[in-house]
Structure 1
Amino acid sequence: MTTGQGGLAPLFGAALLALSACVPVGMTGTADRAVAVAGGAVTVAGPQGYCVDRGARSDALVLLGSCASLAGSRSVGGPARPAILTASVAEPPASGIDLDAMAGFVRSAPGRAALSQSNDPASVTIDQVTASGGVLFIRLRDSAMAKSLPVETGYWRALTGLRGYAVTLSVLSPASAPLSPDEQRAVLNAFVARMRAANPPAATVTTGG
């Protein structure tokens, strides 16, 4: 299956650009364990201890952080070393989600521009791209991140399909309390698993013969 670059760019693009508008300094707002997006078709839910920040949502982006931090109470629980999580949901290209095409795209100049906070391919370095179990995992560094966000420039992304939508998940490390790449990847794995559990495939109706 071949997918044009024009169809892939929106899947990797504007979600993190919205992050700077949502969270100029830190996470603020009230927390939910999950939220429905895409007209209710997809549920965004984070790993254990992570909640949705209702005060930092946009049409392009759902932001998640420590439930304890968002609620202002340790009693609700949260990770000992929290990351900042994002989820974006988009219509997939007409030709579908082709992980091989996406893996090639993210290494190209247009792909790196789509991943860049400043739309500059020179700001992005791709460290690793792997596909496993229907998920594309990307480890990258974006030097433009440090100019507008209180996060480390290196982070993980995952792209997969859920309920007919292309879902991009990111795990970012707070600059004030950095997580290692391995720690970030462990959170991303848990994020992917939680999203799959919250969005099982639509039931198929069968009729008896």
Structure 2
Amino acid sequence: MRISKLFWRPAAFGSLALLLAGCLEPTANPTQTPGSYAYTRSAPRSDVLVSDAVQVAGPQGYCVDRRAGRGGLMILASCASVTGQPNAPRPLFEMLLTASASPEEDGDTPILQQLPQLERFFAAPAGLAALSRDGRPESVRLVDTSVHRNAFVIHSRHTGTSDIPGLGADQWRALFNLNGQMVSASVSSLAQSPVSSDAGLANLLDFISQIRTVSQFSGDDLES
């Protein structure tokens, strides 16, 4: 089990900080009129994470930010935030979404057959360090773990000082198997748009469903 490979690390913080600082307050674009927005190749509705295996799309109103993704990490945000176009779609729950994947290896045990081990891992310092944004177990609190939609779900709360202005404290993350890959999908709250526990979980479950749906057609052009 290589759980640590599925978690974004401080190397990605610069990209996330730029996204949040530069895009959360989109500026008006006089060349756009209401209703004229269309998904573009620079801000697609979906994108391929692992060729012929995992394609990623967020719930309605989310776009992939190709500027921010790094090293196998895919980042999605409100289409209005990503494009800077106020008439672009916005999601019901405005959050920051990430997805990553790691190939399954011979002998790997499926996620749902590791539940006791996973629960122990994420309650221990090593698991908390994997959940934290700075690699320190003391900067995050495990709120709860659960199983939904054949995925192991972790709700954590950052308790330290955030290195990413604009990012909220709560994160919901799912680990699940898909087409020979172990996938991690997360939704993180934003400081300016707090969400309830039920809303955060609902957004994560929608994200999981979208990934599974578009991955059935991995390789097709689903940008429009």
Q: TM-score, normalised by structure 1?
A: 0.82
Any runs of at least 4 consecutive aligned residues in structure 1 with deviations exceeding 4 A, and if so which? none
SS of the residue corresponding to residue 23 of structure 1 reads: helix
Q: Distance in 1 between matches of 2:92 and 2:108?
A: 42
Consecutive unaligned residues of structure 1, counting only runs of 5 or more, are 203-209
User: 1:117, 1:145 within 8 Å by CA — same for their partners in 2?
Assistant: no
Give the SS at the match of 2:19. Answer: coil
| Residue from 154, 157, 172 that aligns with 1:138 | 154
Calculate percent identity across the aligned residue pairs.
31
Shift in alpha-carbon separation, 1:34–1:189, aligned structure 2, 3 A? same
> What is the aligned residue count?
195
SS in 2 for 1:138: strand
Aligned position for 1:10: 5
Deviation at 1:117, TM superposition (A): 1.4
Q: Summarize deviations over 1:24-81 as a string: whole Å, max 9, x none.
A: 2434584111111223431011111111011111113111011122233344422254
Could you say what secondary structure the match of 2:162 adopts?
A: helix
TM superposition shift of 1:149: 4.2
| Structure 1 position 115 matched with structure 2 position 131 | yes
Residue in structure 1 matched with residue 17 of structure 2 by the alignment = 24
Question: Structure 2, unaligned stretches of length 5 or more?
Answer: 24-41, 219-224
Write the mapping of 1:56-75 to structure 2, written as runs, cut at 5 A. 56-75=68-87
1:201 and 1:136 map into 2 onto residues whose CA distance is 24
Structure 2 residue 58 is matched with structure 1 residue 46: yes
Report if the CA contact (8 A) 2:49-2:72 is conserved. Answer: no
Q: Which residue of 2 aligns with 1:189?
A: 205
In structure 1, the residue matched to 2:33 is none
Whether 1:36 aligns to 2:48 is: yes
Cα distance in 1 for partners of 2:52, 2:187 equals 23
- State the distance in 2 between where 1:38 and 1:144 align: 33
Aligned to 1:205: none
- Cα pair 1:9 1:110 within 8 Å, conserved: no
| Structure 1 residues 84 and 109, CA gap change in structure 2 (3 angstroms) | same
Residue in structure 2 matched with residue 162 of structure 1 by the alignment: 178
Q: Let me know the Cα RMSD of the aligned residues.
A: 2.3
Shift of 1:201: 9.3
The structure-2 alpha-carbon separation of the partners of 1:46 and 1:16, relative to structure 1 and needing over 3 Å to count, comes to: farther
Partners of 2:49 and 2:100 within 8 A in 1: no
Task: Return 138-147 or 56-65, whichever deviates more.
Answer: 138-147
CA contact (8 A) 1:152 1:173 kept: yes
Query: In structure 2, what residue type is equivalent to 1:42?
Result: V
TM-score (norm 2): 0.77
Aligned mate of 1:92, from 104, 108, 112:
104
Q: 1:121 to 1:164 in 2, by over 3 A?
A: same
